Structure 1
Amino acid sequence: MPAPTDFHVFDLGVVVLQHGATLRNARLAYQTYGTLNADRSNAIVYPTWFSGRHTDNEWLIGPDKALDPERWFIIVPNMLGNGLSSSPSNTPPPYDRARFPHVTFHDQVECQFRLVTEHFGIETLPLVTGWSMGAGQTYQWAVSHPEMVQRAVPFCGSSVTAPHNRVFLESVSAALRADAAFAGGWYRDDAWPTTGLRAFARVYAGWGFSQAFYWQEEWRRLGHSSLEDFLIGFWEDFFLDERDPNNLLAMIWTWFHGDVGQTPGFGGDTVAALNSIRCPVLAMPAEKDLYFPPEDEQWASQHIPRGDVRVIPGVWGHFAGGGQNPEDTAFIDQGLRDMLAREV
């Protein structure tokens, strides 16, 4: 489906990134759901995920959900690099396309912090939550702004990107770059690296869902008639749908280098950063997630003073958090309900 146009833009102006580059005329695209109350105490931040846009988060928002816009003011900021906020595809020279600078999770959250505080005047957040890279941003919010975040619920994501996860990211990146049309990131509009994007999608398909998902042919529940139909109709279609290759690689860099220990003041000490989190944290990894297995979050949780882990059961792997399986959606929603009911 075409990229959404129903969003607001917060002009960030000059943004000096953690790795030293300066983005001028930077912009943060976002959408809100619900109404901010008089004392600005009902705001929830729900960041986007790898290649996702704010509309891709809407499956977890609604009057029948914990994230009820009749009660909460839900802010969905689009990540830098996703094509709506400042990205390789929409930034003018000299930081356009392959020259787009490196953006960390810390950078993402600092831009969101400015939106929340400068634009909305919000001083406290009852909840920050997110899937996948959204979970990485959730952890980062809890570390960067412990004075604001009252509860954190990261699902199917992590506070630090594990070595095996990085191997996956290297493989999809290599598949995309191998297309001659990619041209080092300076591909032409009339010579889109379609072959590389299709290869990117095929590699991704082996990781997004579990082995058991494929054994049980769960893809039939998504309306696909064969395995090949699923690989083309679900995976290739997704990445060929206005996903700019340089945008994908920019977000991969952020994901690859995810580590709350790189937050200023912690000197790379991930454990110290996790120890600094003040709020209760409920991590919800998926039982068979190949990127973010439960043991990774169980390791992190032991270093978070008020950390807990609740494993999403089932065979949908990473996409247990993608909003496409009703059972998993209900499990995640219940976790959010439980946390929002918790005293802080």
Structure 2
Amino acid sequence: MREHLTFPLGDFTTQHGATLRGAHLAYTTYGELNAAKSNVIVYPTWYSGRHWDNEWLIGSGMALDPDEYFIIVPNMLGNGLSSSPSNTPPPYDRARFPRITVYDQIEAQHKLVTEEFGIERIALVTGWSMGAGQTFQWAVSYPEMVERIAPFCGSPRTSLHNKVFLEGVKAALTADAVFNGGWYDEGKWPTTGLRALARVYAGWGFSQAFYWEKEYEKLGYTSLEDFLVGFWEGFFLDGRDPNNLLSMLWTWQNGDIGLTPGFDGNTEAALGSIKATTLDMPAEKDLYFPPEDEAWAVSHIPGAELRVIPGIWGHFAGGGSSPKDTEFIDTGIKELLAKPGGLA
């Protein structure tokens, strides 16, 4: 678990008009920024993930090699380390934390990248799941700054089916009486709701074939119930504050690069504005972000490539637990970095 740094955002006004006073962005870096400031990779976190949860894709000899690149991992607003419901003082604390859009996330990260480091060009933005959504948003918000993007297992716009999944997750958590509209007592989390949320999630994170083949046994779980309790319930009970989860869920559910100022909700036009060299890598059996959705997205991005991650791990092909899938993603990013950036 790597220590993080804190960048003060000051009075940060969201896309919906709320102002978080004294806001901050938690982040960490790997490698050294070169003299030309040309070796920058931005690698945002994902739903409930923290910076150390991204480290599986960073390492010597990998595409994200800290011996070659300066890798910045910003924690999303709402994840418990950056400004979040759990660490914001009244009046915007807990259930009153403002709605944060994906656009807001990138505005905060842009302030970090430019004001803290003086960076003008980014060689690559990449990310998994909600990190992929932020990757697309970087390329739309700052098309003259981002040279390449490699989103994987994520999308530029949250689909209706994905929203239905998230409604189930939200309902399971908030049905717990202890939740109390988000004003649960400090130190007394709605654990029944969190466990229910985990079991809803379990049916979506991995594919049907993953369960048919009992792939969870390769992760060390001895039965289906052991996997549901040990992996899924354990995942969400591991310091993941319920209000933080709901804040990030709202960001995910309302994700759409078409809502970037200037596009009036036109997602296709926003995709068409991307100048970065693009490699989009959905997973073959991802139930949230299926390859068909990403084929549609890629068809609107000039010169973009679609490369489907084969296999049965579903969404978690991008989670770092499947060595074969990790190798596929790493190889794709290496090949992308070898290509000229879209701004060349």
* TM-score (normalizing by structure 2): 0.98
- Structure 1: which 5+ residue stretches go unaligned? none
RMSD: 0.7
Q: Separation in 2 of the partners of 1:192 and 1:254?
A: 22
Q: State the one-letter code of the partner of 1:144.
A: S
Equivalent in the alignment of 1:263: 260
Mapping 1:225-236, distance limit 5 Å: 225-236=222-233
Q: State the one-letter code of the partner of 1:327.
A: K
Shift of residue 142, structure 1, vs aligned partner: 0.3
Q: Separation in 1 of the partners of 2:207 and 2:15?
A: 35
Are 2:282 and 1:285 equivalent residues in the alignment? Answer: yes
Q: Separation in 2 of the partners of 1:339 and 1:77?
A: 22
Q: State the one-letter code of the partner of 2:135.
A: T
Are 2:164 and 1:133 equivalent residues in the alignment? Answer: no
Shift of residue 306, structure 1, vs aligned partner: 1.9
Equivalent in the alignment of 1:178: 175
Mapping 1:243-254, distance limit 5 Å: 243-254=240-251
Q: Separation in 2 of the partners of 1:288 and 1:271?
A: 24
Equivalent in the alignment of 1:13: 10
SS in 2 for 1:28: strand
Aligned residues of 2:277 and 2:340 also touching (Cα < 8 A): no
Equivalent in the alignment of 2:92: 95
Equivalent in the alignment of 1:304: 301
1:133-172: CA deviation from partner (whole Å, max 9, x where unpaired): 0000000000000011000000000000000000000000
Percentage of matched positions with identical amino acids: 70
- Structure 2: which 5+ residue stretches go unaligned? none
Q: Separation in 1 of the partners of 2:302 and 2:191?
A: 47
Mapping 1:98-137, distance limit 5 Å: 98-137=95-134
Equivalent in the alignment of 2:161: 164
Aligned residues of 2:105 and 2:134 also touching (Cα < 8 A): yes
Are 2:231 and 1:196 equivalent residues in the alignment? Answer: no
1:43-85: CA deviation from partner (whole Å, max 9, x where unpaired): 1000000000000000000002110000000000000000000
Equivalent in the alignment of 1:40: 37
Q: Separation in 2 of the partners of 1:228 and 1:84?
A: 31
Q: State the one-letter code of the partner of 2:294.
A: E
1:284-322: CA deviation from partner (whole Å, max 9, x where unpaired): 000000000000000000100121100000000000000
Select which of 272, 276, 299 maps to 1:275: 272
Equivalent in the alignment of 1:84: 81
Shift of residue 192, structure 1, vs aligned partner: 1.6
Aligned residues of 2:198 and 2:236 also touching (Cα < 8 A): yes
**Structure 1: 4+ residue segments shifted above 4 A:** none
Select which of 56, 62, 65 maps to 1:65: 62
* TM-score (normalizing by structure 1): 0.98
1:204-233: CA deviation from partner (whole Å, max 9, x where unpaired): 000000000000000001100000000000
Give the count of matched residue pairs.
341
Shift of residue 189, structure 1, vs aligned partner: 2.2
**Stretch deviating more after TM superposition (188-197 or 115-124):** 188-197
SS in 2 for 1:238: helix
Shift of residue 282, structure 1, vs aligned partner: 0.5
Shift of residue 5, structure 1, vs aligned partner: 6.6
SS in 2 for 1:250: helix
Change in CA separation of 1:190 and 1:154 when aligned onto 2, cut-off 3 Å: closer
Equivalent in the alignment of 2:208: 211
